[in-house]
Amino acid sequence: MNERVGTSVLRLTGISKVYGEGPTRVDALRPTTFEARAGEVVAIVGPSGSGKSTLLTIIGLINPPTAGSLLINGEPVITDGVAVTNLTTMRRRELGYVFQRSNLIPFLNAEENVRLALEIDGVPAGQARGRARELLESLGLAKRLGALPGKLSGGEQQRVAIARAMIHQPSVVLADEPTAALDSGRGRQVMELFRDSAHAHGAAVLVVTHDHRTLDLVDRVLEMEDGVLSEKQPD
């Protein structure tokens, strides 16, 4: 288990997102306060259009909030809706992303896709290669290191994507419907992988999902409805 586990890695305070104004105003995300700790897997569920993706893009530092503050690892990133640090650097170092479709770079093989996340941050190629191989081997992909994404199965692609999201040991991993394209068995494998990786790497994993079959594998479930985020009580 990673020594960071249990520490607060993500804190949102009064984060909101409003599109338009006057009669066309849409409150995509109402003021939201939320905290995630290293090692925990948090599922965010809710109907389409409820604001899940908006929340994800704000935490992913892709979409600026209208108001509120965001801290990663205790460091202020957004204060009163304004970025106070270099968001590109924060994305590179503190965040990892996994998507419904693996979105691997098609012209890079499995190992290159994973080590790219390190090399982008200036890690020497040899060191990055070693770490990528080690991680992929731990995910059961030792024989698929040189395979291009098109030659990998859906489950293999998602494991490579998770490796890419974890390789640089980010504080927060954001996953958008990561099991939607997988069958039930592989979906559970992916969620187990998130859980294991979160503990191993000391990251908080936020999973936006519609897949209720895997919710028993997460630590917390948050529900989003009409832009309001709330803790979902166990059924």
Partner 1 sequence: MMDLAVRDIRNDLSRFLLTAAGLGMLMSVVLAMTGIYNGMVVDATVLPDTYGGDLWVVQKGTQGPFAESSRVPALLADRVRAVPGVARTRSYMTLNVQHELEDGETLRFMLAGLSWPDDLGNALPLAQGRALRQPHYELVADRALGLPVGASLRLGRDDYTIVGVTSGMVSSSGDPLVFASVSDALRIQNDLASEALRLERESRVSRVRRSPYGRDPASLARAGSAAPLPVTAPPPVTAILVDVAAGSDVEAVKASLQGWPDISVYTIDEQRELLVRGVIDRARRQIGLFRALLVLISAIVMGLIVYTMTLDKMLSLSLLKLLGAKQRVILRLILEESLLLGVSAYLVALLIGELAFDLFPRRVLVQDMDRLALLGVILGLSIAAGMVGLRKALAANPNEVLAS
Residues that bind partner 1 (CB under 8 A): 53, 56-57, 60, 62-63, 88-93, 95, 97, 99, 101, 103, 105-108, 112, 115-117, 119-121, 125, 148, 176
The nearer residue to partner 1, 91 or 220, going by C-beta atoms, is: 91
CB contact at 8 A, 102 and 149: yes
CB contact at 8 A, 65 and 29: yes
Residue 151 C-beta: closest distance to partner 1, Å: 12
The nearer residue to partner 1, 8 or 103, going by C-beta atoms, is: 103
The nearer residue to partner 1, 83 or 116, going by C-beta atoms, is: 116
The nearer residue to partner 1, 158 or 189, going by C-beta atoms, is: 158
Those residues with Cβ within 8 angstroms of residue 222's Cβ, 6 or more apart along the chain or in another chain: 34, 42, 43, 44, 45, 229, 230, 231, 232
Distance CA 169, CA 171 (A): 7
Residue 185 C-beta: closest distance to partner 1, Å: 25
Going from the C-alpha of 142 to that of each of 82, 110, 126, 152, 161, the distances in angstroms are: 43, 10, 17, 13, 15
Residue 58 C-beta: closest distance to partner 1, Å: 12
